[in-house]
Every structure is written in C-alpha cells, then in structure tokens.
Amino acid sequence: MVEPIRPPGSAPDAPAELSAQAASAQTAPDRTAVPQTAPRPDQDRGQEPVPDQAGPDKRQRLVSHLLIAVLCLSLGFAIIIQVRRTQDGDALSTARPQDLVAILDGVQRREDELMAEIADLSESLNTLRRGGASSAQALAEAQRRASTLGILAGTAAATGPGIVLTLADPESAITPEVLLGALQELRNAGAEAVQVGQVRIGVESAFTGQAGGILVDGTPISAPYVIRAIGDPPTLSAAMNIPGGVGDTVRRANGTMDLTQSDSMTISVLRPVRTPTFARPVG
C-alpha cells in the first residue's frame, strides 16, 4: 500500500473521531460552568435588594391586635356595668304612673314631717331660752325628748299607725340582705319604730346568717318573716312597692309579700338599755 508523502516533522494522521472532537473544541465557545446564585426578583428588575422586615411587621400587627382586644374588653365591661346600674338604679323610669305618684306623695309627706320637726325643735329652743335652763319648761322638754329618743332607740314602747309586712319564703331563698333592704327602705320612708319577729330594731341592729337561717342581733328568726313598722301607712306601703325594690326582690326568690296597713298598732318589744363604755355626756 502506498502512503502519501508528508513533510518532514509532521505528525501522523489522528483517528477520525479524535479529529472531529478537536475541531469541535476549537469552534465551540468556552462553556466552563461558573457557580451562580439564583437571581432575586428585585435584582431582575435592576433594584437594590430590600431588607426582610417581615419580623417587625408581624410584631407590630400582633401588638395592635392585642391593644384592640383590650380596648374591646374594656368597652364591653363598661357597657355591662352601665346596663346593670341602669337596671338597678333607674328602675323608676319603667315604673307605672300610679307608682310614681305614690312615691312622690311619700317623699312629700316625708318632707312635711321633717319641716314639722324643725319647727318643733325651734319652738322648744325658744321656750328654753325664755324660761331658762333650770325652769319647769326645761325639765318638761327634757322628759319629752327622752321619751322620743327612747322610741327611736327602741328602749320605749310605741304606738301609732303603721304597716305589717309578711314575707313568705317557701324555698328558703330570702337572704339577710333582703331584710336589711326592707329595713332601710322603711327608715327612708320615715318609720319611727320597727320590729322584726320578736326583735326590736335599734341603731346598731344587724342581719346575719344566710338564707334559711337568718339572725337579727344574734336572735334566730324563721319564715314567714313579719316586720311591723310605725309610720305613715301610705308612705311605708309605697316604699315597699317601689319597682325593683323589696317586693320585686322577694318575688325573684319565689317568695310572696303581704302588706297590711293599720290605723293603730303597738310595738311593745324593747331593746335592753346599754350603758356607754367610752362616751360621756357633755357638761
């Protein structure tokens, strides 16, 4: 086989595969892999990267939500308190006209009684000033005042018009607070002598115990609870029937209230006379 003549120093022909690869390597561009990170969206738009502020934003939103929740709770609590006060303190706004007339009449009667008492005290003062402290008028006035104070203190018997209030408690649900509320309403309506059960009420009287086992000044009383009060009967009756008052409270406890007016009644139960431990008369 005759081989072609090659110039001196030339290399022998390479195989066809190697020649093709060499040619491809010479003509193809340099594709050396360079590690790159994935472009960010803001980099694709040619903008500077924005710091990640998701953490602070979430905290601010959480604080805002907490503040809103606290404000809503506070507002709801205030609304509940206002509604309760409205229901308890403004019950007169839902009272019937005849109830309002009775209440107004009771207030007017009480005002008249106080004005008469002021006039009586003023007259007594003028009498004492005219007669002198050692006169018979002064002694008579002192005895009258002692009798009056004895009635108010519960150490003297009393007679006059008034009411008898009977509270039935079939479920033993009436609490000492209910009886205390009745006593306060009677005093506000001008009751001058009050007896609960067999206990004469005085300035230091107290209702203790619990429903079904109430004590007055340490003496147990049982249902039905009978309260006798001397005063103006219509005024005392109106005080017991004020909307939202004693009558409604007793009915909510599934009890009943019976009220009877009397033109003449006597309270003969007396409180023991206590000698003051620390207080002494002046003069």
Say whether pLDDT at 257 is over 50. yes
What pLDDT is stored for residue 14 in this prediction?
47
What pLDDT is stored for residue 19 in this prediction?
45
What is the distance between the terminal CA atoms of the chain, rounded to a whole angstrom?
Answer: 164
Q: Phi, psi (5° rounding) for residue 178?
A: -65, -45
What pLDDT is stored for residue 27 in this prediction?
47
Nearest to 100, CA basis, from 108, 229, 162: 108
198-204 average pLDDT score: 91
What pLDDT is stored for residue 100 in this prediction?
67
CATH 3.40.50.150 fits 98-267, yes or no: no
Decide if 190 contacts 108 (C-beta within 8 A).
no
Which two three-digit tokens encode residue 193?
């002598």
One-letter amino acid of 87: Q
Q: What does the pLDDT look like over 121-167, one tens digit per residue? A: 777 677 666 665 556 666 776 777 778 888 888 889 999 999 999 99
Q: Which residues contact 104 (CB under 8 A, 6 or more apart)?
A: none
Complete edge-to-edge strand list for the sheet that includes strand 225-230 = 199-200, 193-196, 225-230, 158-168, 256-267
Integer Cα distance of 193 and 228 in angstroms: 8
- Cα angle 265, 267, 269 (rounded to 5 degrees) comes to 160
Mean pLDDT score across all residues of the chain: 75
Give the number of other CB atoms < 10 A from CB of residue 195.
23
Q: Which residues contact 214 (CB under 8 A, 6 or more apart)?
A: 174, 175, 176, 179, 207, 208, 220, 221, 225
What pLDDT is stored for residue 115 in this prediction?
79
Least confident span in 100-104, 208-212, 236-240: 100-104
Q: Which residue has the higher pLDDT, 283 or 125?
A: 125
Report cis status (omega within 30 of 0) of the bond before 15.
Answer: no
Percent of the chain with pLDDT over 90: 35
Most confident option among 15-29, 37-51, 107-121, 265-279:
265-279
What pLDDT is stored for residue 215 in this prediction?
95
